[in-house]
Structure 1
Amino acid sequence: MIEVEVKGYADDSIFEKVREEFELIRKEYHEDTYYQHPCRDFAETDEALRIRVRRFDGHFEAFLTYKGPKLDSVSKTREEIEVPINDPDEHARILEALGFTEVLTVEKVREKYYVEKGITLTLDEVEGLGKFVEAEALTDDREKVPALVEKLKSLLESLGVRRFERRSYLELLLGRGQDEAS
């Protein structure tokens, strides 16, 4: 599956506009622990491997996720492979036994909103970074990606987003690619 995602910097007015105009799906708490491959540098290959622990409404879910390199120069669109796991601590032990090393844990509060079938908005408050808004769609057809990117970007612009960000929260927290900021 291809995750088409456009992210922008947000402030209180953008958060309020989203809360007023769209239907809240749920509020979630995320702990995303990223791992480095023992034989290749994910920072150079633009890949990511993480264990996400998500808590909402008294529930707990965990996922092992691989994200491939970004597919275009505008958005954060990439192939994503995600599988549910029941015991994130034991999965972490397996990764570490195989030589993977923990890089960093990104913590955030996420509010997820329904826009239309196949499109969601998220309001993220990321510890150490601040507020962001993301528009996301999923597709299995690479030819649909450019049109979806434009649609998502227009949606964010209509909410008042003026500054977009392609780097992941992990990249931002690690301080990489400062010259890419737009």
Structure 2
Amino acid sequence: MQYTEVEQKYQVKDIAALKTALEKRAAKPGSTTRQVDTYYNAPHRDFLAPDTVSEWLRLRESDHGDSVNYKQWLPAGAVIKTHCDEFETPVEDIEALRRTLQALDFTILVTVEKVREEWVVPGLVEVAFDTVTGAGDFVEFEFKGEAADAEAAIAQLDTFIASLDVELGERINRGYPHILLGREH
């Protein structure tokens, strides 16, 4: 599952109650970072053309280093995505990569600015509290344990979230770019 991401996102209602529940599960607070994510459209394939967006190309600038990331959400074309193929790697010179994309006619779709506070339940889940400029407060649960496949990881993540016994708020089945672009899917 090295290149597979399984996560769930919620519009968070009570951050303090959720953090208390996480502490009871031996979660440890980690770092808080500012992240600026710039999403690009490809010149050879319009990511926004399908009714349901299933892929993104992103450059991230953060306090802890820069990266490039491509995600192909699955099942492709489905309104509710369960997981994604994710390919991410650090970038030494973000400006050089930005200029490369521009030279190849990639265009900026949207920029997402957020402050992320990360918590970790070792060997199981990474929890990110995100305050997204123009969109609000969210919590993301990303599976980080061992699983045979995406379905097993989803089942473990569902069990973990239910075990917290905290009202999370509305489940969000779209990414921050969707929200800022005003797309439902």
TM category, shorter: 0.7 to 0.9
Please show how residues 3-152 of structure 1 align to structure 2 within 5 Å: 3-11=5-13, 13=14, 15-20=15-20, 21=23, 22-43=27-48, 44=50, 46-55=54-63, 60-71=64-75, 74-138=80-144, 144-152=149-157
Counterpart amino acid of residue 68 in structure 2: L
Structure with more of its chain in helix, by fraction: 1
Counterpart amino acid of residue 58 in structure 2: R
Cα separation, 2, equivalents of 1:65 and 1:24: 25
Which 5+ residue runs of structure 1 have no aligned equivalent? Answer: none
Q: Which residue of 1 aligns with 2:161?
A: 156
Root-mean-square deviation (CA, aligned residues, Å) is 2.2
- Regions of 4+ moved over 3 Å: 71-76, 138-141, 153-157
Cα separation, 2, equivalents of 1:83 and 1:77: 19
Per the alignment, in what secondary structure is the counterpart of residue 128 of structure 1?
A: coil
Q: TM-score, normalised by structure 1?
A: 0.84
Counterpart amino acid of residue 32 in structure 1: D
Per the alignment, in what secondary structure is the counterpart of residue 30 of structure 1?
A: strand
Task: State the aligned residue count.
Answer: 171
Give the drift of 1:156. Answer: 3.5
Q: TM-score, normalised by structure 2?
A: 0.83
Cα separation, 2, equivalents of 1:117 and 1:35: 32
Alignment counterpart, residue 180 of structure 2, candidates 160, 173, 181? 173
Q: Decide whether aligned partners of structure 1 residues 140 and 53 sit closer, same or farther in structure 2, where only a CA change above 3 A counts.
A: farther
Cα separation, 1, equivalents of 2:89 and 2:171: 29
Give the drift of 1:97. Answer: 0.2
Which 5+ residue runs of structure 2 have no aligned equivalent? Answer: none
Q: Decide whether aligned partners of structure 1 residues 137 and 38 sit closer, same or farther in structure 2, where only a CA change above 3 A counts.
A: same
Q: Decide whether aligned partners of structure 1 residues 118 and 71 sit closer, same or farther in structure 2, where only a CA change above 3 A counts.
A: farther
